Amino acid sequence: MTTTPLTHTPHDSGVPASARDFSVDGRVVLITGAAQGIGRELARQFAAAGALAVVADLDLAKAEAVVKEIHDAGGVGLAVQVDVADEASAVAMVDTVIEKWGRVDVLINNASIFATIEKGPFDQIPLAQWEKVLKVNVTGTYLCVKAVAAHMRRAGFGRIVNISSDSVTRGTVNYLHYVTSKAAVIGMTNSLARELGGHGITVNCVRPGMVATEVERTVNPTVEVRERAASQQCIPRGMVPTDLVGVMFFLAAPASAFITGQTIACDGGYTHSS
């Protein structure tokens, strides 16, 4: 008995048939918070793999610098300024991409307040800081999904990847505003997957471990803290942004068409260790 291989267009969410379905070539990939850290590396790697990378960030100058890196390496990129916590700004970001390339295939919600967070006991977190963290990390994710949803519905295709944190499972102390925001992102992912699945749109979440980037934090982990965290992983080494590239490519590619509503830990097995 012989079967006819399935074929794909970039907007087809059918069952994958071959190695080509793991490709992100030609995809329009919108990454928020992409001017530095994890987002910057994702933008560079997606562009290197042939995707059209949208570097969206509040800091336009830094976003443009990343796009220059992409262009210098032979890739295609577009810098867009956005305040994800402002609905009009999120809509304008998506409209700019639609005007440029006609579609958004992939949205990676990477923007969040993290490096500048001041740690402290939960009952000493200023209300203004609590609200700011949730507005960017939770409301910002929601507004970006809302802004792309209509376009993805019309296309009958979409990949949305939200980014949470392993701090949710660890219950990191003195970080309640951040941990709460990243737990909310997981719940949002689950519900959005059900609401959007019938339109050919998948919604998944990636939960990284402690990632070392060039971004300076208000409170940087000590060498001892990083080494202790690494020693508790199944893969006992520090995590870097490129460790996230594989899972992000997969969730953006046709091969993941039947995977939605999932939170995937990418933490070297930290949450698998005892």
Query: Which residues are designated catalytic?
Result: 178
What tokens appear for 24 in the block?
Answer: 């992100």
For residues 221 and 115, give the distance between their C-alpha atoms in angstroms, rounded to a whole number. 11
Residue 104, phi then psi, degrees to nearest 5 = -125, 110
Burial per residue of 49-63, b for 16 or more beta-carbon CB atoms within 10 angstroms, e otherwise: bebbbbbbbbeeebb
For residues 165 and 266, give the distance between their C-alpha atoms in angstroms, rounded to a whole number. 9
Q: 239: which residues sit within 8 A by CB, 6+ positions away?
A: 208, 209, 210, 211, 212, 230, 267, 268
Burial per residue of 100-127, b for 16 or more beta-carbon CB atoms within 10 angstroms, e otherwise: eeebbbbbbbbbbbbeebeeeeeeebee
Q: How many degrees, rounded to 5, is the angle at CA 95 between CA 93 and CA 98?
A: 115
For residues 11 and 34, give the distance between their C-alpha atoms in angstroms, rounded to a whole number. 24
188: Cα separation from own chain's centroid: 14
Looking only at Cα atoms, what is the longest distance across the chain? 68
